[in-house]
Amino acid sequence: MTTPAKTIIQFENVTKRFGKMIAVDDVRLSINEGEFFALLGPSGCGKTTLLRMLAGFETPSAGRILIDGEDISRIPPNRRPVNMVFQSYAVFPHMTVADNVAYGLTIEKVAAPERARRVEEALALVKLDGLGGRKPDQLSGGQRQRVALARALIKRPRVLLLDEPLSALDAKLREQMRSELAQLQDKVGITFLIVTHDQDEALAMASRCAVMNRGLLQQVATPGDLYEFPNSRFVADFIGSVNMFEGRLLVDEHDRAVIETSELPTKVYLDHGVTGAHASTVWVALRPEKIELHKRGQGTPPPDLEDAPANHNLAAGVIRQITYLGSESVYDVEVTGGRTLRALRSNLTRRDQEDFVCDEPVWLAWHACSPAVLLS
């Protein structure tokens, strides 16, 4: 995108309390036009409440919500320029597919010929051509979801809200719908705001994600940045799998840092400084696929790491468990000192899975740019 992004949704210090419980805590967030934005977090983190406030089913206890610069906090749901795809799909069981899709237009009193044309268009868009006469109980779960999608899109909303849209589908269908949703968004050009607890879903579809925890916005970033540059232990742990150590910052200069941790036999060396570190306690997050496995036996020297001093970023251990996943294998390695680290290795050839066996002594090694240092 070359043109400067235009803000479409703005949450200004939005708080929502249910009795004593704070569901959403002082959230500030801007979403741009045309984005595929994901609200990601564990259940009960407040993401659905945020979505429901945008749709108008909940009223913020404090703060404002703006769409196109206009405060919509007090506008009832039926007069907001947003439409929602419900988690349960909420397809009207007493109406045919076509009547369901046409519902919003019927309310708007759109003339019958135009209505019929747009229903046909919308059904074609979600690949339900020819099923307009069916009743919802004659459809599969995936088809019902498409009806819900068509029903919301036909209104041409400014923002389409999707509440856990894929959670009720089976794994295969979920993957297919993921790419279809992304394609659909590309085609209609409407801003999509999706709520999900499934990190894979968010990473795969979204152009930007917001991670929430206990009502607080933890981090807003692109999927790549969330994964590689998490800003907290929560985000690092929530997105993907991670090896985490608590440590002490020994050296912190602009081009290098050294962290000592009791959980590893060696020190961790970084090729960059740690900004904003006021206390000496930090956490190191190391993704399994960034840990290399090397043979360790009599007469085999430790692997030579070009980007770290000797005895840094290197740990001796013994493989305790191997989980073969086809495209990759997961190795749980117990290092000296007792801590178990997880390493991931792609099976690049058909023989790769035979390289290591259980109870084999190995070296674990990683590059100086691989660990993420977290301050909270």
Partner 1 sequence: MDEAWTRAKGVFAALAGPPVVWLAVFFLIPLGVIWGYSFGENASLTHIAVNGTFANYAHAIRPLYLGIIVKSLCFAGLTTVLCLLIGFPVAIAITFASQKTKAWLLLLIMLPFWTNLLIRTYALMAVLRTEGYVNQALGFLWNGAGRIAAVFGQSIGTFTPLELLHNNFAVVFGLVYVQLPFMVLPLYAALDRLDRSLLEASLDLGASQLTTFRRVVIPLALPGIISGVLVTLIPSIGAYLTPDLLGGPSSMMIANVIERQFKTANDWPFGAALSFMLMYMTFIAIAVQAVVSRGRQARAT
* Binding region for partner 1 (CB under 8 A): 55-57, 76-79, 82-84, 86-88, 90, 92-94, 103-104, 107-108, 148, 151-152, 155
Least distance between partner 1 and beta carbon 177 (Å): 19
Residue 107 or 112 having the CB closest to partner 1? 107
Q: How far apart are CA 19 and CA 82, in angstroms?
A: 27
Select from 119, 93, 92, 91 the least CA-distant residue to 105.
119
Residue 94 or 351 having the CB closest to partner 1? 94
Residue 81 or 303 having the CB closest to partner 1? 81
Least distance between partner 1 and beta carbon 157 (Å): 9
Give 223's Cβ-side CA count (13 Å radius): 15
Residue 58 or 292 having the CB closest to partner 1? 58
Residue 78 or 298 having the CB closest to partner 1? 78
Least distance between partner 1 and beta carbon 76 (Å): 7
Q: How far apart are CA 332 and CA 83, in angstroms?
A: 46
Q: Which two tokens stand for residue 221?
A: 């970033």
Least distance between partner 1 and beta carbon 95 (Å): 8
Residue 90 or 322 having the CB closest to partner 1? 90
Residue 56 or 60 having the CB closest to partner 1? 56
Residue 93 or 130 having the CB closest to partner 1? 93
- Adjacent-strand bridge partners of 257: 252, 270
Residue 128 or 152 having the CB closest to partner 1? 152
Q: How far apart are CA 357 and CA 289, in angstroms?
A: 18
Least distance between partner 1 and beta carbon 90 (Å): 4
